[in-house]
Amino acid sequence: MQTFFIVAILALGFLITFQIAKASEYVAVLRGLEKTRKQTNKINGFLLLVFLIAGLIGVYYCNEKLKGKILGDPASDHGVLIDRMLYITLIITFIVFVITQVALFWFAYKYQESDKRKPYYYPHNNKLEVIWTVIPAIALTVLVGFGIFYWFKITGEAPKDAMQVEIVGSQFKWEYRYPGADKVLGKKYYREISDAKMNPLGQLWDDPANHDDIYVAGEPMHLVVNKPVKLVIGAKDVIHDVGLPHFRMKMDAVPGTPTTMWFTPTKTTRQMKEETGNPNFVFEISCDQMCGAGHTGMRGEIIVESQEEFDVWLAGKTPQYITANPPKSTGVAADSASTGSVQAKDSRIAQLNK
């Protein structure tokens, strides 16, 4: 029924428009074409002015209405640079936008056809051409220059004291790996990936660097405030993208080709909860690459906390090596497996590394 009404209304609208067009055609013939054309011209000129004013009011209104909905202050050092660049670009383009739009519509209105003046034929002016080519070229060079400078800073070598975290995307989840005490992520091979063998990332157990690596999934990634972090990014199936809107960072996750990016979180989750007044605030990881039907649900979370809190959290984890290769011998190792204490785990890692 609803569809019928919509079709009927559309048909009616079409009919009315058609009839009006036809009627105005007859009127034009009756009145004389010249006069009608001039009248239409006047109406168009006036409408252009209306469009300019309504458009500028619309721009102001949208800005006022939506400015509270943006993400707020960035929560990383690189985020400050990105935001600065964005605002400089917005200011420059806004000034250019207003000047060109006002000039465009005002000229169309002001210099519409008139019996009082004749058009002046002015085909070319080299000086003008140079001016409106050189000024935008300089402006764009400055903007792009800033962009390249920041890009190299963000994608460049991470500081030596940076912690490393691996993040791996697959349809449709994120998994993480921490390098453990040796601060080295062990080697991987994709054929080793096996949920049945408790090796979800395909770690090579022959590599001792893998023995203390901590695998984390199904819970937020943890990071330390004011400590640089280098993300080593990978994917298991298709291209995903690690999007960190609050830190203003993003990088593709490509199967077979690890990518990296580094930044320093400058605010803890607790601080953000206070600042935003939102007790449920979380730093979000969004997959920013269309990766399949479950793409929109591919969401991860990050908790930024103090070094002490982070250490307590990490100490509660068992290296995946131990989960995948439970000690076979009875005795001390087996006992400690049942108690699950941190020291016991450490001693087992030490044993395994021997």
Toward Cu ion, which CB reaches closer, 172 or 281? 172
Q: Which is nearer to Cu ion, 75 or 291 (CB)?
A: 291
Report in angstroms how near the CB of residue 256 gets to Cu ion at its nearest: 16
Give the nearest distance from C-beta 238 to Cu ion in angstroms.
Answer: 7
Structure token digits, residue 349: 């890692």
Sheet holding 221-224, edge to edge: 221-224, 299-305, 283-287, 240-244, 249-253
Nearest residue (CB) to Cu ion, 129 versus 237: 237
* Smallest distance from Cu ion to CB 284, Å: 14
Interface with Cu ion (CB under 5 A):
240, 287, 291, 298
Planar angle of CA 164, 170, 171, nearest 5 degrees:
155
Q: From the CB of 164, what's the least distance to Cu ion, in Å?
A: 22
- The CA R_g of the chain, rounded to the nearest whole Å, is 32
Secondary structure (H, E, C), 63-106: HHHHHHHCCCCCCEHHHHHHHHHHHHHHHHHHHHHHHHHHHHHH
CB of 207 to Cu ion, least distance (A): 28
Q: Contact at 8 Å (CB) between 281 and 288?
A: no
Pick 298 or 349: Cβ nearer Cu ion: 298
Cβ burial, residue 196 (10 Å; 0-12/13-18/19+): exposed
Nearer to Cu ion, 198 or 239 (CB): 239
Least gap, CB of 250 to Cu ion (angstroms):
12
Query: What is the rounded distance in angstroms from the CA atom of residue 119 to the CA atom of residue 131?
Result: 24
In whole angstroms, what separates CA 124 from the centre of its chain?
44
Q: Please, which residue, 236 or 348, has the CB nearer to Cu ion?
A: 236
Cβ at position 178, least distance to Cu ion in Å: 22
Q: Is 284 left (phi over 0), alpha (psi -120 to 50) or beta?
A: beta
Nearer to Cu ion, 175 or 212 (CB): 175
Q: Shortest distance, CB of residue 294 to Cu ion, whole angstroms?
A: 8
| C-beta closer to Cu ion: residue 224 or 233 | 233
